[in-house]
Structure 1
Amino acid sequence: MGMKLLQRMFKKESLANYLKTDGAFKKTLGAKDLLGLGVGAVIGAGIFILPGTVAATTAGPAVTLSFLLAAAVSALVAMAYSEVASTLPVAGSAYSYGNIIFGEVVGWILGWALILEYFLAVAAVSTGWAAYFTSLVAPVFSLPKALSGPFNPAQGTYINIIAVLIIVIVAALLSRGMKESKYFQNAMVLLKIAIIILFIVVGAFYIKQSNYQPFIPARHAGAFGWQGVLTGTSLVFFAFLGFDALSSSAAEVKNPKRNMPLGIIGTLVIAGLLYSLVALVLTGMVHYTKLNVADPVAYALNAVGQRGIFLVVSLGALVGMFTMIYTMVYASSRLVYAIGRDGLLPGNLGKLNVNGEPSRALGVATVVIATFGGLVPLERLVDLVNMGTLLAFFVVSLGVLPLRKRADLSNNGYHMPGYPILPLVSAGLSLFMISQLHSETLVVAAIWFGLGLVIYLAYGMKHSKLNMD
């Protein structure tokens, strides 16, 4: 009985079934659109904050090296994702990959982890967007206190209405279809990159060589030195996590064998370059010891008398968070669709509408995310976002090994170099990053996965479409 149950739990889904079900999606995304989605997800408001705070508290001016190292580690995972996504061009990202390569229960655990990651990430960013927007319009308009924060009657706040509205606006854009909304997304990403380049160019004129001395400060009070550079790497690594959401678009990509690797690896190159340059310019403009503030880029611009550019950078932060919300709501809807497609979630969530869009999945994702963003304070849940992604990184990296041996899969697109060593290194580094998370995060994650396993055994396995094979 126990052996039969295990065999059923590890039953694998076929790629042919997924391709048949996902065939109704319109193939509208090219390499440029994938870069738009990827850069939209990876570069948010963090580019204006992380380089300063990590320099001040952990790595000094060598935070630039921390970003380059984090980009190198992320590049390994990106290569693994590129091979798997080009071989398995289906919706659902790591959830679907787990189903095909390892079996249904592994796919479900990854899907359950990614639901938590995507939903919480979007909700957290929506509250950040609301905070930036509120401060920007404060001179001319202010909301009633009851509508300005999460549900906390003792403080007089009942809902963060701006956070809810931005999620609803993004969902309305997406409901028109990817073909129509991708142009708006791409324009927003170009505007964001232009604003970041403006800061780099303007800031470069105010760099003082003395601010780089010493480039790697001496070890002090548990920070700095080479160890500080490595600690900084683990802190800024999370700036690159968003490219996981990019692979959820594979079912809507033209020529995925070529375009998925271009989109994923291209995103990492652009993001790594921009993060490193912002860090280099920022620590050159102002001594790193002064950068442990809520908005270090604004502080640096004010310090050198460029207050006008500060307003433009605030706009850049809003645009950056908007594109991040867009990509993550998009990825959330495709994930919910993929799990519903397999019968593991109720409510016909795996159905596409007449326009080839997963409108039911988008509706459910929007309601849940808007509820989180409007009512729940999310400061303590950020680590859980990292947990979900790192678990996906670990399994996808490991998945390259059996994928190469599968005679039933056409693995003739992009190949991760250094096989089998680099996939194992990538998996090992992802596991190491998980071990660096706070212990209470690991406990909450274990409870979340335990709950997911109960739902799978009680509902998902009985209603799974794998039972029909």
Structure 2
Amino acid sequence: MNRSELAPGSSAASSVTASPAPVGYQQELRRGVGSFASFAAGFSFVSILTTVFQLFGLGFGLGGAAFFWTWPLVFVGQMLVALCFAELAARWPISGAVYQWSSRLAGTTVGWFTGWIMIIGQILTVAAAAIAAQAVLPGIWSGFQIVGGPHADPSVVSPTGAHNAVLLGCLLLVITTVVNILGVRQMAAATSIGVTIEIVGVIALVLVLFFLPERSPQVVTHHTGWAGHGGYTGAFLASSLMAAYVMVGFDSAGELAEETHNPRRTTPRTILRALITSGIGGALLILSGLMAARSLTDGNLAAGGLSWVLTDRLGGVLGRLLLCCVAVAVFACTLAVQTSGARMIYSMAREGALPFHRHLSKVSARTGTPITTSIVVGVGAAVALLVNIRQSAIFTALSSLCIAMLYLAYLGVTLPLLVTRLRSGGTGRLADGVDETGRPLFSLGRWGIAVTTLAVLYQAGMTINLLWPRAEIYDVTGGTWWLRWSALLFIGLSLAVGAAYFLASRLHRRIELTHVPHTHIEPPAEAVAEPA
């Protein structure tokens, strides 16, 4: 599809939004996702209980109490991106959202590399989410510290904690893979239940911690707890990685669009709701934790994070009950990320864009889900954990690497979107249309160019910040140069491997001319509104 076909008023753009009957891709995935389950997919990918608990100590250790202000800054930046995604989700409600949007905006070559980076990033994100089990389960019961016994150090930066994190993470991946294989309804039900428990847990936790203050909210105006020297700007930028790690994945609702009822109306709203809810809940969680911590300077908060605050202030029983809510959130987060990655692989495979595409594009007649892709994502994440089993730096390095790759993939959408808007005659508008209920599609209107420009600038800046070779992120053990530069090296290698396959496959198709990949015919549209 040529970019000029997206100009306002063009017939191609109009057909995307007003198609009277299902066209394009054959509807193989089952529509079993309602409005709340669509919201749950994005919210559980972000999963503030999982990620804030997992990364609170990192942010506080890098920037002290003032790291709180990185949260609203990142939230505003990601909200700009989410607004762009919401507009695209209304026009192309199709699995493999980031890949599909990029391909339609910039052409199939840019789309393919965007999808390739997104797949690798999602697989690594599944692994990073599964590691969070180590931050929670040993705090609930010491028996979960299997490696070294219950008295061993459970911290993920210790040898015993790192090994145990890999073990617990692999066991969690087995469970989430099974749930994904069972079917989209089972996955949606599990995610919805997990999100409900997570929201209740966040509310309860915030209220409890606010009623146990050791200091006032003014604590965030100082960088108490920061142990660094010199200027604070570098430390503040480093601490912003915590918020950047957390607020991604809100586009997961778009990955389930082909399985969602009334996706043109539902998906844009659930993308925004997932991020807004996460932003508000995460800010309150961070603030309440800083206020309730017994000490900001004894090292416990940086080492133990919110888990230490809970068990220290609430005692064993109540603290462990709330940690159980966090454990459920970890499960829902890992499940949601794995589902998102599986749909991305399926979307590319059904166009012949990946190796073994005939197997990866198969949808089970019994469950209505792509079983093979779910297994591939689960196995890939387990491999990512196992190859790092002897590296205690796995936690921070893997977290930063996977999120940097997601930011790069997001740029593969927003940058072409900005170019498309600028070429639209200065209006910045995409084609208008209606959703399944006859209402106008979500649109940024005349604000499109401004919002997209700011989104691109934010993403570019944060990507550089994420990839910066900081020793405290990529080489916490010290003295290993390749670990410090591992993010840039890994992304370069991933792009090189992808380029080799892409060029080889294009040459192969020119010789055999067996089929034309990347057809990008219009996505399925529901003829009438379906009940949620």
Deviation for aligned residue 1:430: 0.3
SS of corresponding position for 1:26: coil
CA distance in 2, matches of 1:77, 1:407: 16
- What is aligned with 1:289? 297
Question: Against the structure 1 CA distance between its residues 98 and 222, is the aligned structure 2 distance closer, same or farther, given a 3 Å change threshold?
Answer: farther
Letter of the 1:204 partner, please give it.
F
CA distance in 2, matches of 1:385, 1:94: 16
Native 8 Å contact 2:338 2:377 kept in 1: yes
Deviation for aligned residue 1:144: 8.8
Letter of the 1:457 partner, please give it.
L
Match of 2:271 among 261, 264, 286: 264
- What is aligned with 2:79? 75
1:116 maps to 2:120: yes
- What is aligned with 1:391? 408
Native 8 Å contact 1:395 1:427 kept in 2: no
1:426 maps to 2:455: yes
Question: Against the structure 1 CA distance between its residues 407 and 67, is the aligned structure 2 distance closer, same or farther, given a 3 Å change threshold?
Answer: closer
- What is aligned with 2:41? 37
Letter of the 1:34 partner, please give it.
S
Match of 1:442 among 474, 488, 506: 488
Match of 1:358 among 370, 375, 387: 370
CA distance in 1, matches of 2:243, 2:488: 20
TM-score by length of 1: 0.85
Question: Cα deviations across residues 160-202 of structure 1 (Å, max 9, x unaligned)?
Answer: 5543332122121122211233112111111122122211111
CA distance in 1, matches of 2:329, 2:221: 29
Question: Against the structure 1 CA distance between its residues 319 and 374, is the aligned structure 2 distance closer, same or farther, given a 3 Å change threshold?
Answer: farther
Native 8 Å contact 1:250 1:260 kept in 2: yes
CA distance in 1, matches of 2:309, 2:416: 44
- What is aligned with 1:216? 222
Letter of the 2:252 partner, please give it.
A
CA distance in 2, matches of 1:452, 1:78: 27
CA distance in 2, matches of 1:30, 1:354: 21
CA distance in 1, matches of 2:382, 2:489: 26
CA distance in 2, matches of 1:342, 1:409: 25
- What is aligned with 1:3? none
Native 8 Å contact 2:86 2:267 kept in 1: yes
SS of corresponding position for 1:241: coil
Letter of the 1:400 partner, please give it.
L
Which runs of structure 2 are paired with 1:144-223 in the superposition (5 Å)? 160-209=166-215, 212-213=218-219, 215-217=221-223, 221-222=228-229
Letter of the 1:365 partner, please give it.
V
Question: Against the structure 1 CA distance between its residues 339 and 102, is the aligned structure 2 distance closer, same or farther, given a 3 Å change threshold?
Answer: same
Which runs of structure 2 are paired with 1:397-408 in the superposition (5 Å)? 397-401=414-418, 405=424
SS of corresponding position for 1:320: helix
Letter of the 1:414 partner, please give it.
F
5+ unaligned residues in a row in structure 1: which ranges? 1-6
Letter of the 2:492 partner, please give it.
A
Letter of the 2:414 partner, please give it.
S
Deviation for aligned residue 1:411: 5.3
1:65 maps to 2:65: no
1:371 maps to 2:383: yes
1:466 maps to 2:516: yes
CA distance in 2, matches of 1:254, 1:343: 27
- What is aligned with 1:91? 95
Q: Quick check: 90-99 or 344-353, which moved more?
A: 344-353
Letter of the 2:201 partner, please give it.
I
Deviation for aligned residue 1:118: 0.9
Q: Quick check: 332-341 or 177-186, which moved more?
A: 177-186
Deviation for aligned residue 1:228: 5.6
Q: Quick check: 264-273 or 376-385, which moved more?
A: 376-385
CA distance in 2, matches of 1:158, 1:233: 28
CA distance in 2, matches of 1:450, 1:76: 31
Native 8 Å contact 2:209 2:289 kept in 1: yes
Question: Against the structure 1 CA distance between its residues 383 and 90, is the aligned structure 2 distance closer, same or farther, given a 3 Å change threshold?
Answer: same
Deviation for aligned residue 1:330: 0.4
- Identity among equivalent positions (%) equals 19
CA distance in 1, matches of 2:403, 2:245: 7
CA distance in 1, matches of 2:489, 2:179: 37
Match of 1:251 among 258, 268, 272: 258
Deviation for aligned residue 1:407: 11
Question: Cα deviations across residues 382-437 of structure 1 (Å, max 9, x unaligned)?
Answer: 32212211112222222334555499966551113522111011011101111112
CA distance in 1, matches of 2:286, 2:51: 11
CA distance in 2, matches of 1:88, 1:459: 27
Native 8 Å contact 1:126 1:164 kept in 2: yes
Q: Quick check: 440-449 or 373-382, which moved more?
A: 373-382
Letter of the 2:468 partner, please give it.
H
SS of corresponding position for 1:73: helix
Letter of the 1:319 partner, please give it.
V
CA distance in 2, matches of 1:161, 1:234: 26
Q: Which has the higher helix share?
A: 1
CA distance in 1, matches of 2:32, 2:193: 17
Question: Against the structure 1 CA distance between its residues 186 and 416, is the aligned structure 2 distance closer, same or farther, given a 3 Å change threshold?
Answer: same
SS of corresponding position for 1:91: coil
Native 8 Å contact 2:417 2:452 kept in 1: yes
Question: Against the structure 1 CA distance between its residues 315 and 260, is the aligned structure 2 distance closer, same or farther, given a 3 Å change threshold?
Answer: same
